[in-house]
Every structure is written in structure tokens, then in C-alpha cells.
Amino acid sequence: MDPITKVAQEFMQSWQRFRQSGKARLYRIDTDPSMHRDLWRIFRAIEMSPDNRSPYFIFDTPFSDPNTFFDAAIKKIAADYALIREGLSKDGVQVGELNLVAGTPGEPEAEFAKAVESVWDQVKSQFEYLLLIFLPQQIEAKAEWPFVVEKLLLLFESSKVRLAVADTPEGLLTDVCARHPARWLAGKFFISKTDLQDYLFKVAAGGWAALTGKGASAQSQPQASQASAAPVTTTACEDTSTNPPAPKVLAPDEAALLRTCMAKAATASADHKVEESLEALREGRVVCRRNGLLTHEAILAMAMANSLLAAQRDTDALEHYDEAIAVATRAETPVVVMQARMGAASVLFRAQNYDRAAESYQQASEDAVAAGSDIMRIEALRMAGTCHNLQGRPDAAAACWNRALSSGANIPSAEIEASTIDQIGSQFVAMCEKNGLTEQAKSVKQQIEAIRQQALLREKESVAAPA
């Protein structure tokens, strides 16, 4: 199982315990700001699930001080409530307008709490509780943030409001939780770059079979398990047109040098020392190149691109993603091609070069087929459709989104939750309604629901089937 799916499944199980808990008022998420975008997707997918009976209010404004933060949060509450009211109205349910009452001057938490309670007063006949999810992009006032969270916990102690808060890697909220042992649960949603790279190296060494145990020979699996100690892949010069490539094992000194380069890069990256990280990765690429380790070289090129992208050096990042694609293509490693192509597409999207981004995302969707990743194919097609939609090409957008939904027709429920199928549905429906295609919008909603129900039915049949 790939690390993204594994983390998503474990998080979903923990989140389900929180939803079912009668005592827990706070859910502390052990995560990192780099994961917040994926968390947002997961929460929106859960919110749209048929068994959910709570609207999710998600706040991602950076926290610098309580006044600024909660001023933005109250505006977000008002905007989200307008959307909820509109949605209920379409279902034939009428709720009143939101009347926000100012709180005590100097107490922004109390003012925010009153705004939230005003929402609850309007919708309490329709929902079991309200859920406030805080995923701040950045926490500047780190010493103050835990006390703000604790104030909210106490303000909503006797209400139908529950909190989910993303903690930082240093664990700012652990003391808050320690002071309220019966009121909180926790879950983890974090994938380190090291874990993802290790996963890619294992795939490179032994293929998907080395990870799944399906179709792997007795000989190939030990090689995969030793990938971190002695990287294994094909040589750069061997002709694979008629014979399968022979695996190549690094000499001990070269393997040690490669591990040292990767360790230096990881340490420098954690300390936000971009140039030191890049230099270590360059050294690692040299080791890979002289030993004919094409796939590993591609992974390191992609790691360099990721670092450059984080440093907002988009042009350099795109160049390295393209290098990774080219090298991984020569190595015939589709999973790395797919990851690098998605990275390149994200750079183009951020630059608002939507035509090139759409092309790159569509190519990544084909790479995902070769890599055997339905989740990544769905996401690539979602983004390709988004690009076409932004360029005023609804037919092209619809074609991409329809292919994405088709890809989700036979995947398990856990993968549906981890995917962006629900976001595709929302975008697709909004586009149809904007163009007056009300029947098509209904059809998309029905298709999303059918995908979910079919996945549940398959799981029930699997459980009921005799061993």
C-alpha cells in the first residue's frame, strides 16, 4: 500500500472514533502545514458523505494575533453559512439569515464563539453538531496559539460545537490536551519526504509486486527489502528490448556515499537550508549516474525540484521536474514519471499557464495508469479539467472529469475517501449549473452517489463471501 493511502486510511479510522465519541470535544491532528491541503480534501470528502450530519467550517488563515485571526474567521463563518443556507434551500429547507452579535471588546474568541452559536441557532434542527476545523497555514505567535485553542475548548464545552485543530511538529497543543485528558482524541496525518522517497526507491527496485506481494518472485522480494541499504535498479546502457534488465547492486562504498548524501539532504531540508540540501542531492545524482542508477537519479532530481519549488524558484523547479521525467522515462519507471509530471504541472498551474498545465496533467493521468494508481489518475484528471474550465473550455473539462469518475467506479471506499472525487463532483456540478445544465448537474450528483454505494456493496459482498 502506498504511504498516502495508508496514512489516509489510518486517519479515517481515528476520525471515525472522534465522530462517534460522546465526550471528546477536541481532535488534535498530528501533522505539518505541508499536509494541510490534503487534509482539506479529506475533510471535504467526509463532509459530503451520506452519513455525515455536521457542516465543516475550515479555517486556514495564518495566526499572527487573535484579533486578526478571528476577524477573518467570522467573515469565513458568514460566507460559509450563506453557502449552507443556499444548499438547504435547494433541498426545500428554509433557515433564517445570520445575525452576528458583537462580543465583549478585547475578547475575539468570545466574539467568534457568539458568531458560531448564531449559526447553530439557525441550523440546529438540521444537524447534530457543528465542526470547526483549524488548519492555519502558518502560526507566527506560537506561544499564544495553545491558549487560544484552550479558550475555544472551554467556550464550547457545553455546546453542540466541536473542534479539530492541526498541531505543529513541535506539538504546541500537547500541554492543552494534558490539562483536559477526557476531552480530546488525536490522529496523525503526516507523510515525510523521506518516507515517500523510500517508497519510490522500493518501487524502483522491485516494482509494485515487491510492495503488494502479488506476482513477485522469491528472488525479487529480497532485493526490494534491501533497497535502502544497497539500491537496486537497471543499468543505464543495457538493451532491454529483448531481455529483461539485470539488477545492479551498488558497491558498499558507493551505497554508503549515496546514503550519506540523502541523509545530508534530509537534514538540510528539515532546517530549511535549501542550498545545502540541493548540493547534497547533486552529489547523490552523481553517484547514481556513474553507477547507472537511472530511477534513483530521477527520484533525486525530483527531490531537487521539490526543494526549489518550496523556495519559490519555479523556473529552476520546472527544469528539474523535466529532467526527472526524462530520466525516469529512460528507466521505464512510470510511478516516478507520474510524480514528476504532477510536480511540473503544479508549477505551470501556479504560473497560470493553464494550457501547458492541462497538457501535463493529462499526460500524468496516463502515467498513473501505467503506475497502477487510480487515486493519482483521478487527481491528475481533476486538475486537467480545472485548467480547461479556467480557460473557458467546458466540454474539455467535462471530458476530463468524466474520465476521472470512470476511474473511481471500481476502487474501494477507503480510496474514494482519499481521492478527490467529491471535489470533482462539486466542480462539475457548479460548471453545469453555471451553464444552465441542471439535468446534467443532477446526473453528476447521482453518479458520485452511485460510485460510493457500489464500493460499499462490493465490500459487503466481499465480507459475506465464504472463505
Question: Cα(149)–Cα(156) distance, rounded to whole angstroms?
Answer: 11
Question: Cα(240)–Cα(248) distance, rounded to whole angstroms?
Answer: 14
Dihedral sign of CA atoms 365, 367, 368, 372 in order? positive
Of residues 137, 132, 135, 127, the one with CA closest to residue 115:
132
**What's the 3-state SS for the chain?**
CCHHHHHHHHHHHHHHHHHHCCCCCEEEEECCHHHHHHHHHHHHHHHCCCCCCCCEEEECCCECCHHHHHHHHHHHHHHHHHHHHHHHHHCCCCCCCCCCCCCCCCCHHHHHHHHHHHHHHHHCCCCCCEEEEECCCCECCCCCHHHHHHHHHHHCCCCCEEEEEEECCCCCCHHHHHHCCCCEEEEECCCCHHHHHHHHHHHHHHHHHHHHCCCCCCCHHHHHHCCCCCCEECCCCCCCCCCCCCCEECCHHHHHHHHHHHHHHHHHHHCCCHHHHHHHHHHHHHHHHHCCCHHHHHHHHHHHHHHHHHCCCHHHHHHHHHHHHHHHHHHCCHHHHHHHHHHHHHHHHHCCCHHHHHHHHHHHHHHHHHHCCHHHHHHHHHHHHHHHHHCCCHHHHHHHHHHHHHHCCCCCHHHHHHCCHHHHHHHHHHHHHHCCCHHHHHHHHHHHHHHHHHHHHHHHHHHHCCC
Q: Which set of grid coordinates corresponds to residue 143?
A: 506561544
Helix 334-350 and helix 193-212, axial crossing angle in degrees, nearest 10: 140
Proportion of the chain above pLDDT 70, given as a percent: 82
Predicted pLDDT at 162 = 94
For residue range 284-293, list pLDDT tens digits in order: 889 888 888 8
Domains, the chain, in order of start with CATH, read 3-191 (3.40.50.300), 192-351 (1.25.40.10), 365-467 (no CATH)
Q: Which set of grid coordinates corresponds to residue 288?
A: 547514481
Task: Look at the chain and count its residues.
Answer: 467
Predicted pLDDT at 166 = 93
Predicted pLDDT at 238 = 34
Of residues 26, 123, 119, 115, the one with CA closest to residue 71:
115
Question: Cα(382)–Cα(420) distance, rounded to whole angstroms?
Answer: 8
Low-confidence ranges of the chain (pLDDT < 70): 1-5, 49-50, 101-106, 192-250, 270-271, 461-467
Predicted pLDDT at 464 = 60
Name 106's bridge partners: none
Question: Cα(166)–Cα(139) distance, rounded to whole angstroms?
Answer: 11
Helix 354-371 and helix 374-390, axial crossing angle in degrees, nearest 10: 160
